Chain A
Amino acid sequence: MLARSSMRSTRILNGLKNGAATASKRAASSSSSAAGEASATRMNLAAAASTSLALGSIAWYYHLYGPVAFASTPAEEGLHSTKYPWVHSQLFKTYDHQALRRGFQVYQEVCASCHSLSRVPYRTLVGTILTVNEAKALAEENEFPGEPNDEGEIEMRPGKLADYMPAPYKNEEAARFANNGALPPDLSLIIKARHGGCDYIFSLLTGYPEEPPAGVVVAPGMNFNPYFPGTGIAMARVLYDGLLEYEDETPASTSQMAKDVVEFLNWAAEPEMDDRKRMGMKVLVVSASLWAVSVWVKRYKWAWVKSRKIAYDPPKEVKVRR
């Protein structure tokens, strides 16, 4: 169809070129053998040219805009953390509160010397990680500024459940000064704040190799960690096998401590997760029940429609003359 229509157009073009002399016999001229060959080559030329122009423009476009520019090397990007099968991230699973308790122990004994947990008050630990008495005793270990006394001086008082966990450093400058210019981030929301979440923190804590791979120059005061973007991290490896003793006598291997502390930090970042999943379950239960009720009600309401019987009662023949 397309070929035929293009043939017709070349025929008309030929007719125009040949001028008025051949205009009278235009049908005959197009059917003559020589002109027919010429128009066929022209037609092929035009097709080839247009096709090559189209392909060439596409190729040129991809040459210009096709390749995506990767500005950073893999080392600058950092090794992407491996996915670990976290139990608490499954749909109907809660936190393992024994693991939270162990993780809190790891945070207190290892992380708390540099990292603050300033958005978590002691009261949230009650019932999830510690008992009331344990949490109170823990809060009382620290002093917090209290009410002003008669002379208007603020006195220090022992901590209460409502107090927030104290930070190891007074401010950011003090933290940087103590850590060679690097700021240990606050860990309250760290799981939400880092790409990769739990997997990233776990990989970072356990991923320090014995020595950096050959040819890598580690800046002075830095440590090689493949998971940290740029691979140079100021925090040295802190978790070693048997670093602490768990109260439930779990063997305190590096990966066990990292797993526990990551689960604890996930709890710190989203303490509402258990309640949220419970609420989700309630939503499912209630909507399933309502659906069941609606099905039964529909059956009840439609019962007379479904059970009716349509009978045709023909009129009796009446022997009456119309």
Chain B
Amino acid sequence: MGIWDAFSDIVEAVTPWSVVEAEAPAEDKEEQPEAESKDDDDEDEEEEEEDEDEIVDPKDVLEEECRNSAQCHPAKHHFDECVERVQQQEENDGGAKEDCVEEFFHLAHCATACAAPKLWAKLK
């Protein structure tokens, strides 16, 4: 603990930003085992709770909402129509003459673009 440490301590105390430590703080290590064992118990309980109510992906929910919104109605209309047409072809002619990739693309593009900002607000 020389005089330069005192200077650097003062500078550190005055500077408004914090210093990022690559080393884990040594003081916490002694306390950690006890704390961890407590945490483990808590985690087990929480895990059981979490297993009961499953995690729902917000992306799926938001995109489903967007697909059914007025904004994506034309794309969804075309996609549904295409699916119906292709299914009829498969039933009547034994094979599809076309696919619904383009319609699917338009619908997916509309739904994801509509859901993107809402999704980012929900994700961490």
Contacts and interface: CB of A to CB of B under 8 A. Distances in A.
B24 A213 contact: no
B108 A226 contact: yes
Interface of B is mostly: helix
Interface string B60-86: 100000000000000000010011001
A41 to B, nearest CB: 55
A54 B100 CA distance: 44
Contact of A127 (B20, B43, B89, B105): B20
A213 B103 CA distance: 9
A283 B113 CA distance: 36
A215 B54 contact: no
A188 interface: no
Interface string A38-79: 000000000000000000000000000000000000110001
Nearest to A231: B101
Contact of A214 (B22, B50, B100): B100
Which of B103, B109, B117, B123 is the most central at the interface, judged by chain A CB atoms within 10 Å of its CB? B123
Nearest to A96: B124
B99 A253 contact: no
B46 A253 contact: no
Given A215-B86, A259-B123, A82 B55 contact: no
A83 B116 contact: yes
B116 A213 contact: no
B48 to A, nearest CB: 13
Contacts, number: 106
B45 interface: no
B57 A241 contact: yes
A252 interface: yes
Which of A80, A217, A242 is the most central at the interface, judged by chain B CB atoms within 10 Å of its CB? A242
Contacts of A251: 50, 55
A266 interface: no
Contact of B22 (A131, A226, A253): A131
Contacts of A215: 82, 86, 89-90, 96, 98-101
Contacts of A206: 59
Interface string B39-55: 00001001100100011
Interface of A is mostly: loop
A82 B112 CA distance: 6
A79 B47 contact: no
A255 B59 CA distance: 6
Contact of A74 (B105, B120, B123): B105
Contacts of B56: 241, 253
A172 interface: no
A256 interface: yes
A215 B123 CA distance: 34
Contacts of B109: 79-80, 82
Given A84-B120, A241-B56, A253-B56, A74 B108 contact: no
A123 to B, nearest CB: 10
B57 A214 contact: no
Contacts of A91: none
B102 interface: yes
Which of A133, A217, A251 is the most central at the interface, judged by chain B CB atoms within 10 Å of its CB? A251
B55 A252 contact: yes
Given A84-B116, A241-B57, A214 B96 contact: yes
Contacts of B98: 215
21 contacts: A85-B117, A134-B24, A207-B108, A213-B83, A214-B96, A214-B100, A215-B99, A216-B99, A216-B101, A217-B99, A226-B105, A226-B108, A241-B57, A242-B54, A251-B50, A251-B55, A252-B55, A253-B58, A255-B57, A256-B124, A259-B123
